[in-house]
Structure 1
Amino acid sequence: MIGKLKGTVDTVEEDCVTLDVHGVGYVAFCGARTLAGLPGAGEAASLFIETYVREDMIRLYGFASAAERDWFRLLQSVQGVGAKVALAVVGTLSTGDLANAIALQDRTMVARAPGVGPKVAARIVAELKDKAPAFSGAAAAESFGLKRDLGEGVAPAPIADAVSALVNLGYSREQAAGAVAVAVKEAGEDGPSTTLIRLGLKALSR
């Protein structure tokens, strides 16, 4: 079983990279974000690997981090999500953005991944809402892992508005969601958006 490869980049194609490890070329299928982050041909690179062994083939999937590989595995625990869809999701969203999307029950963000329709996105955010924090390592996911019904896969308006306001101020979605998560802990789940924004900005300034 191959868990990690370290070598030099040989060729990069649309959906995979060939990594030369001591003269042996390993083909690893990767998401778009991982492929975009690879160095040029002949330069050193390392990938965390998930090895799939089938009766008629062996396929390697490559990831920039162990957390990304963990998400790839976790996503496939969702009904209707196979390796292709899981790779598309981690290839579109960073681990932090994916954690936030699930914590906020933001199926629209998950549906940005190629081949992920609204129904699959809804299943992903619903089925992983209690599992995601253990894998994300993100403060936002841990804080937003609240036991509550978010209705039709949409975050409560004050929380969504507060996150949107902080993003409009120039913070990344991950930073904004993490800050609002801290604010929710202080103000309570029913806190108004103005209070969440104020407390969120306070958290970001620390």
Structure 2
Amino acid sequence: MIGRLTGILLEKNPPQVVLDVQGVGYELDVPMSTFYNLPANGDRLSLLTHFVVREDGHFLYGFASEGERFAFRQLLKISGIGARLALSVLSGLSVGELAAVVAQQQVGRLTKIPGIGTKTAERLLLELKGKLAEVLPGSTATVADAHSDILNALLALGYNEREATTALKQLPPGITTSDGIRQALKLLSRV
């Protein structure tokens, strides 16, 4: 499929751009985060793409970064979220902000995006939990998420809050959930 296009930027009409690639003009819909960072018309531009084939047409979506494209693809996997709504989410929030909103389960922040109601926001938060960590490894949202998961696992295994918290404090920063649980159990078995 078409994964990247590089050419001359011919037109910019939000949220659509036309990119001339060796004489062929490709129309791409882009999130506003990409649109605001476009060069002037006539300048060279390279965009990562996502190609969608439906019975009513073929559609190209362009992204300035791999993180945006990855988040877009994760959004498309959610039932009831189409390409337009996924672009709307990425136009309203940067990928980093979206990852933080998901990690902190902020329904209110998502409902401010046009087209997203409370039920859709809740479904987004549920479906995206833990999936945007790949985009932002080592982000504070990911670390907080991992620590919360480790703590909950230790509590579920029968350790009390004090024991679990003490073990959690001894873990190295940025540890993954599975490694954190394993190391915490080793620490707790020594006590």
Could you tell me the TM-score, scaled by structure 1's length? 0.68
Give the match for residue 164 of structure 1: none
Q: Counterpart of 2:101? A: 101
Cα deviation for residue 128 of structure 1 reads 1.4
**Structure 1 stretches (4+) deviating beyond 6 angstroms?**
none
Change over 3 Å in CA distance of 1:93–1:62 after alignment to 2: same
State the partner residue of 2:181. none
Give distance in 1, aligned partners of 2:138 and 2:105. 15
Q: CA deviation at 1:61?
A: 0.5
What is the aligned partner in structure 2 of residue 53 from structure 1? Answer: 53
| Residue in structure 2 matched with residue 18 of structure 1 by the alignment | 18
User: Amino acid of the residue matched to residue 51 of structure 1?
Assistant: F
Partner of 1:125: 125
Offset at 1:89?
0.6
Residue type of the partner of 2:124?
I
Q: In the TM superposition, what is the alpha-carbon distance from 1:105 to its structure 2 partner? A: 0.6
Structure 1 residues without counterparts, runs of 5 or longer: 150-184, 189-206
Name the CA distance, whole Å, in 1 between partners of 2:138 and 2:69: 15
Structure 1 Cα separation of the partners of residues 114 and 169 of structure 2: 37
Task: Give the drift of 1:187.
Answer: 10
3-state SS of paired residue (1:62) = strand
Report the counterpart of residue 6 of structure 1 in structure 2: 6
Name the larger-Rg structure: 2
Aligned to 1:68: 68
Question: Which structure 2 segments of 5+ residues have no match?
Answer: 153-167, 172-191
Within 1, Cα distance between the matches of 2:106 and 2:169? 23
Identity percentage of aligned residues:
38
For 1:103, the aligned partner's letter is A
Partners of 1:140 and 1:60 in 2: how far apart? 33
Structure 1 residues 124 and 40, CA gap change in structure 2 (3 angstroms): same
Secondary structure of the residue that 2:10 maps to in structure 1? strand
User: Comparing 135-144 with 5-14, which one deviates more in the overlay?
Assistant: 135-144
**8 Å contact kept, 1:8–1:21:** yes
Deviations 1:21-52 (A, max 9, x none): 11211100111121111111101111110000
CA shift, 1:65, in A, is 0.6
Give the deviation of 1:186 after TM superposition.
4.8
CA distance change for structure 1 residues 88 and 39 in 2, over 3 Å: closer, same or farther?
A: same
- More off after superposition, 103-112 vs 91-100: 103-112
Q: Structure 2-normalised TM-score?
A: 0.73
